């Protein structure tokens, strides 16, 4: 409560800041986060409380909050308010380590929820990736994944039934990587990863408890076996503050 009171009172000293007021408010909140006065998961005062407590215009407050959100320092829970972002997990696209594995390795608690699984006809773009005819049956799995009980990504995974015929009969709330390796002997030897910033669409944002248009990161991974066959095509829509991409490469002379 003291941290929140400090946050609400910082603008009361006239002439205490220079420059645009929204940036000054952004700096004060960021400083409280950096100094540990606002711990990860802390709920910020509401916009109305900030407006009442500081005398700052609502539009100025929102500009500051949107700036902090874009930087990944805070995030919105739809119909709940603004919260300090937890530390991001490190993702290494050079590894074929599943989400459950690399999140646990970093001392965090992962969980997975299957939203839908079906065998569906392949659209033309996906058929080209798997080198099958448009309309050919492919396994499609939609899942939501959490870190420390916070929803951080939704994904659509497409798998070739020729490599994993009865895949959908398995529980897919755990590691798909482990199922493919253990039950079907599928070994991935190469990953192709594409990443780009995106805005979360309404469907994705709703699944993550966020507002439509919230900044996100789209990670598209295509996994190949030793014969060059596509094993898995995965489209992951992440909260942009939940992931940090890290690649360690050896430089050859």
Q: Under CATH, what is the fold of the domain 89-245?
A: Chorismate lyase (3.40.1410)
2-84 classified as CATH 3.30.1510.10: no
For the chain, residues classed under CATH 1.10.10.10 are 2-84
- Gap between the Cα atoms of 183 and 175, Å rounded: 12
Structure tokens at 9: 């009172």
Render each residue's pLDDT in the chain as its tens digit; 253 residues: 454 555 555 444 334 455 677 788 888 888 888 888 888 888 988 888 888 777 778 888 888 888 888 888 888 877 788 888 888 899 887 776 778 888 999 999 999 999 999 999 999 999 999 999 999 999 999 999 999 989 999 999 999 999 999 999 999 998 888 899 899 998 888 889 899 999 999 999 999 988 888 889 999 999 998 899 999 999 999 998 898 888 777 776 6
Q: What is the pTM of this model?
A: 0.81
Give the Cβ contact number of residue 138 at 10 Å. Answer: 22
Buried b (16+ CB within 10 A) or exposed e, 145-184: bbbbebbbbbbbbbbbeebbeebbeeebeebbbebbeeee
């Amino acid at each position: 409560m003291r941290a929140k009171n400090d946050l609400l009172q910082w603008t009361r000293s006239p002439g205490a800041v220079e420059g645009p007021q929204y940036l000054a408010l952004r700096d004060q909140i960021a400083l409280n986060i950096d100094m540990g006065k606002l711990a990860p998961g802390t709920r910020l005062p509401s916009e109305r409380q900030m407006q009442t407590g500081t005398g700052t215009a609502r539009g100025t407050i929102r500009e500051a909050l949107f700036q902090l959100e874009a930087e990944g320092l805070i995030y919105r829970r739809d119909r709940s308010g603004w919260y300090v972002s937890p530390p991001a997990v490190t993702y290494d696209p050079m590894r074929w380590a599943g989400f459950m594995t690399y999140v646990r390795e970093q001392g965090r608690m992962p969980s997975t929820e299957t939203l839908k699984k079906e065998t569906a006809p392949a659209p033309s773009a996906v058929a080209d990736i798997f080198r099958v005819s448009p309309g050919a049956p492919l396994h499609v799995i939609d899942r939501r994944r959490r870190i420390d009980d916070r929803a951080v990504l939704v994904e659509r995974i497409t798998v070739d039934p020729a490599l994993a015929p009865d895949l959908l009969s398995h529980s897919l709330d755990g590691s798909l990587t482990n199922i493919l390796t253990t039950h079907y002997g599928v070994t991935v030897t190469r990953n192709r990863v594409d990443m780009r910033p995106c805005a979360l669409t309404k469907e994705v944002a709703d699944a993550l408890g966020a507002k439509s248009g919230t900044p996100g990161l789209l990670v598209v991974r295509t996994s190949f076996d030793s014969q060059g066959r596509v094993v898995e095509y995965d489209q992951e829509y992440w909260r942009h503050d939940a992931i940090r991409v890290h690649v360690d490469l050896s430089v050859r002379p």
